[in-house]
Structure 1
Amino acid sequence: MLLAATMGLGLVSCMKNNDDQPEIPSAGLMGFNLAPDQDGIFIRLSGNTLNNQAFAYSNFTGGYLPVFTGNRDVRGINALTGTEISTTAGFNFEPNKYLSLFVTGADSVYSNLIVNDHLDTLLPATGEALVRFIQAIPDSAAYAVNLSSGSKDVPATAPFNTVSEFSSMPVGDLKISASNGTGSTLERTIQIEASKAYTILIMGNPAATDDTRKPQIKFIVNGTVKPDDTE
């Protein structure tokens, strides 16, 4: 399992001094390097670097980082060469929203996949967890993905760069399978806990010979989801 992060809903980043100045609105951004042939990536928002250390492949921010709101250019930068590999012009970062940025692709074709996670409004059913997936394998074939827990199954047909919505799932064993229909099937079972949000990462390069870069299933914990009952 990758690094987990804990959060509450209603994210607002406060920049204050002793004069108790007004709060500055912010959005929460979680960034991922899911490009298997990129050993290090910096993410820049309108020229400001999000991560102090380059993200190695499969690494991420470890949690939602506060970023200034408004329309901002988003760029993925190769840490070794300084070359821009992916760009999104003028993405609107809205206050108090939770967003994920996945840098995906391979072989000099990369993209920024930015999604609103809706964790400012989503809650799982009582005693359940929230689960979604991203299909980030740069393969021409769509994958048949299935999430199964208890008596609930969530099947999906997922081409490259598909990010599913969060689904409320019973806790315990979550069985994950992904098949591209050509004999390549990935399977994994993880334990999910009540009130937590999980992102399943279906990732890798079908042409890779390195075991760490071959198609595989990983996951991260986005955080603990609970109502914001604070004033």
Structure 2
Amino acid sequence: MSEHLLSNLKNVEARIEHACHAAGRPRESVTLLAVSKTKPASDVAMLASAGQKAFGENYLQEALQKIAELPELEWHFIGPIQSNKTRPIAENFAWVHSVDRLKIAERLSHQRPVAQGLLNILLEINVSGEESKSGFSLSEIAEIIPQVAALPNLVLRGFMAIPAASTDLEQQRIPLHRMQQLLLEMQQAFPELPLDTLSMGMSNDLEAAILEGATIVRIGTDLFGAREYKKKPE
């Protein structure tokens, strides 16, 4: 299994390298976030031993167990956030990608331990306008940003999106391009803020995402293999 994981990491790194070259971007402009949900801490440790340092988790209780075993890694929370789960998220993660309403940002700020420094957050954008998905609409972001930026224990770094699925590269690029334009527009509107991050692109569309300016790609299946859900994690 360990050789399989390391081979997967090498393959994903090669895809990122190739995509960066195609986009005329340096490899270091894209962070690989290894999405380790439902996978054991031993798999995480194996990839960490090969140099992978940033890991993303969707399910809080599972994530907290892994963080306790591997606290030295950089942990990102990328799943849906319930109001009653904000405190342990604020206390245990370096990044939160899935802030989808102002109330969540306010709670994370209030509950972030000052000694841990500022919590990096991304606003989740419902870029494809899907009713089944959470997130801010493109039209409300300019109004939301100042409210989030004023919160004391957070630093707003940019945006996250999960566009509607497509297998066609050009179709994939359309919503991802909207995200790139959003970041550029908000950088111009709020030059005082460190808006430098676009979290988008997964195993099936990382090439399109990198072509459209992704700075973090969230890769699970192509690193760890298919997930097995015995029961619904919390």
TM-score (norm 2): 0.29
Q: Would you tell me which structure has more helix in proportion to its own residues?
A: 2
Q: Would you tell me which structure has more strand in proportion to its own residues?
A: 1
Q: Computing the radius of gyration over CA atoms, which structure comes out larger, 1 or 2?
A: 1
